[in-house]
Amino acid sequence: MAADATTPPARPHALRRFLDSDLGWSFRRSPTAILGALLLAILVISAFVAPLFAPQDPYDLSQLFVDKAELPPVWVQGGEWPFLLGTDPQGRDMLSAILYGTRVSLAIGLASVAAAMAIGVSIGLVAGFFGGRTDMLLMRFADTVLSIPTLLVAILVSAIFRGLLPAGIRDNFSAVILIGAIALTGWVQYARTVRASTMVERRREYVLAARIIGVSAARIMRRHILPNTLTPVLVAATLNLGLAILSEATLSFLGVGMPVTRPSLGTLIRIGNQYLFSGSWWVVVFPALQLGLIVLAVNLIGDWLRDALNPKLR
């Protein structure tokens, strides 16, 4: 039977709409973007389906084999199956630890970027919309935060929260502390970007018309100005994701991050660094390689997105 002429055509799939858009066209013609997306997809999918094929749960102490400690990779003499990448000094399978550690690092990186973006966008909107003394106070505070080294602020915040929490529950809140420490040092860029865009948008006719008819300032900022400032914010967030993951790894490497019982990639690198010169090179090399691949993939996508959304380069 012929289709009813009045039946509206089916909407294309979201993926098809993306591929048919200007951004999708740019993505299809960018080898670096495709490479970065494929690499990141492989790393993320393998990490989040790790329980399906990982030899052990590295967070379950009952599954660690002390008698299998410091086994080399299977292609090196002395290696044993199923420990494909060898084991660490606690008898933890390195492949399992890396996959589970990747999940922790990615989750902390994404959450810290989202928190920093929420803080920065809110401050930038208020500063740019109201201007005057409000703008001056908020931006001077941002300058103060920016004048202190990021890593030092993150270590200070992490140390303060760890000192306030009882020792028994400190490890349970390690991820939350890391997210807060990274977010409190990463919001300034978003605030400055949104402030600059808001100062331009607040003079537009549609904003002036909304103010004349009595629309509240909060609604104008949320419904009218914010959507027009998100493009540079999303580009900055993509590029800062790699920095956030590196910040988490650095803090964990310094001992103020994730505990040994729930290691992230940074914690695994810190553990492996202690055994690097004893011959157990695989304990530090493979987590470091995984961290480098994640940051590389994110930066490739971020660089493409920055160029694709820049109207001067079209």
pLDDT tens figures, 216-243:
888 888 888 888 888 888 888 888 888 8
Q: In this structure, which amino acid lies at residue 46?
A: S
Question: What residues does 93 pair with on adjacent strands?
Answer: 87
Higher pLDDT, 313 or 176: 176
What is the phi/psi pair of residue 304, to 5°? -65, -45
Is residue 131 very low, low, confident or very high in pLDDT (cuts 50, 70, 90)?
confident
Task: Look up residue 48 and give its two tokens.
Answer: 């989040």
Is a pLDDT exceeding 50 seen at residue 88?
yes
Q: How far apart are CA 300 and CA 170, in angstroms?
A: 36
- Could you read off the pLDDT of 7-41 as tens digits, one per residue? 555 455 665 665 666 677 777 788 888 898 999 99
**pTM (global) more than 0.75:** yes
Instruction: Give me the pLDDT at residue 114, please.
Output: 93
Instruction: Give me the pLDDT at residue 26, please.
Output: 79
Instruction: Give me the pLDDT at residue 146, please.
Output: 82
Is a pLDDT exceeding 70 seen at residue 313?
no
Q: How far apart are CA 264 and CA 97, in angstroms?
A: 8
Q: What is the largest CA-CA distance in the chain?
A: 78
Average pLDDT over residues 241-262: 82
Residues 190, 192, 195: CA angle, nearest 5 degrees: 105
Instruction: Give me the pLDDT at residue 1, please.
Output: 46
